[in-house]
């Protein structure tokens, strides 16, 4: 029988860091096996499987494209076709949603394993990341198809896009992992996140560009999702970052946030499971 105290490890961060790094290698293998099992379970009762992961956001994007085509909504001048703008934006947003929502539910999804398994906490983080990238791969395929059909495809630009694509996952996953222990105790956390994400979609340059002047223009500076989406679209279509400095700040800040969330998750996982 093992007894876990909330302050048993936190007093020796060097020891904790060693355990965290030591859990990466076995955790990656166990996480991969958990990911495969999750995929089989999720798609065992559906014929189309992961197709639904991008058919829904594409249908959503189509609605806004039709509204724009018939002048129901007015969009300022864009450097790329609006159809490409909204389709790429919605597919990237769907990846962000997947990244933030997946870790929020980690204690519910792996409750039995967390209670009885000796697997390192990193295994469960790895399983979620494998699943997020698996889902994202289909959306990347659609984005590539859109770029080719519209004649905007550039191999060098697309490779740069792939290189930086993980940033949108980093932003969502760092926040979701940080809130996961709190959501397992207070379900209101997940509900609050879901409530906030709905209006945030319209304030993150997903389907409607944020004005470059006026009160809302501040979102182009303080909203990390809007900054990331604009820069990822820019690198994909134009082969360059729209605002490289702001984009780098987003990367550094969320890399630090992820390390903090990982540490909190590692320290709290056993204590939270006992209370869950």
Give the C-alpha separation, 25 to 28, whole Å. Answer: 5
Q: CA 229, 230, 236: angle at the middle one, nearest 5? A: 85
8 secondary structure, DSSP code: T
268: pLDDT strictly greater than 80: yes
The answer to whether the beta carbons of residues 83 and 108 sit under 8 Å apart is: no
Q: Where are the domains of the chain?
A: 13-275
pLDDT at position 44 is: 74
Give the C-alpha separation, 271 to 4, whole Å. Answer: 6
Q: What is the pLDDT of residues 127-173, one digit of tens each?
A: 999 999 998 988 898 888 888 888 888 999 999 999 999 999 999 99
Per the prediction, the chain carries an average pLDDT of 83
pLDDT at position 1 is: 46
Give the C-alpha separation, 170 to 225, whole Å. Answer: 11
pLDDT at position 2 is: 47
pLDDT at position 186 is: 81
Q: What is the pLDDT of residues 24-57, one digit of tens each?
A: 888 888 888 888 888 888 777 777 766 776 677 6
Look at the block and give the residue holding tokens 């709905």.
Answer: 198
Tokens of 114: 């967390």
Q: What is the pLDDT of residues 162-202, one digit of tens each?
A: 999 999 999 999 999 999 988 888 878 888 998 888 888 88
Give the C-alpha separation, 216 to 203, whole Å. Answer: 8
Q: Which value, to the nearest 10 degrees, does the dihedral of the CA atoms of residues 269, 263, 188, 219 take?
A: -160
Lowest mean pLDDT among 1-10, 49-58, 125-134, 264-273: 1-10
Give the C-alpha separation, 104 to 128, whole Å. Answer: 10
Give the C-alpha separation, 239 to 154, whole Å. Answer: 8
pTM: 0.87
pLDDT at position 58 is: 72
């Amino acid at each position: 029988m093992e007894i876990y105290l909330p302050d048993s490890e936190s007093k020796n961060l060097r020891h904790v860091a060693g355990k965290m790094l030591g859990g990466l290698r076995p955790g990656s293998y166990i996480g991969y096996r958990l990911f495969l099992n999750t995929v089989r379970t999720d798609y065992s009762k559906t014929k189309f499987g992961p197709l639904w992961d991008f058919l829904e956001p594409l249908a959503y994007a189509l609605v806004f494209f039709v509204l724009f085509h018939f002048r129901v909504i007015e969009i300022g001048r864009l450097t790329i076709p609006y159809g490409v703008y909204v389709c790429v934006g919605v597919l990237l947003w769907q990846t962000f949603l997947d990244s933030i929502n997946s870790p929020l539910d980690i204690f519910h999804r792996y409750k039995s394993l967390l209670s009885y398994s000796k697997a390192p906490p990193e295994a469960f983080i790895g399983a979620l990341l494998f699943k997020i990238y698996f889902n994202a791969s289909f959306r990347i395929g659609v984005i590539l198809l859109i770029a080719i059909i519209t004649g905007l495809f550039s191999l060098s630009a697309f490779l740069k896009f792939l290189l930086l694509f993980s940033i949108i996952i980093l932003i969502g996953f760092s926040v979701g992992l940080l809130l996961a222990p709190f959501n397992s105790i207070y379900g209101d956390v997940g509900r609050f996140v879901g409530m906030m994400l709905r209006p945030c979609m319209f304030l993150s340059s997903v389907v409607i560009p944020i004005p470059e002047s006026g009160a809302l223009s501040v979102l182009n500076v303080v909203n990390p999702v809007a900054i990331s989406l604009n820069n990822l679209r820019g690198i994909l279509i134009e082969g360059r970052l729209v605002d490289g400095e702001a984009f780098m700040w987003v990367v550094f800040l969320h890399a630090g946030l992820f390390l903090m969330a990982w540490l909190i998750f590692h320290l709290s996982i056993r204590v939270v499971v006992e209370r869950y």
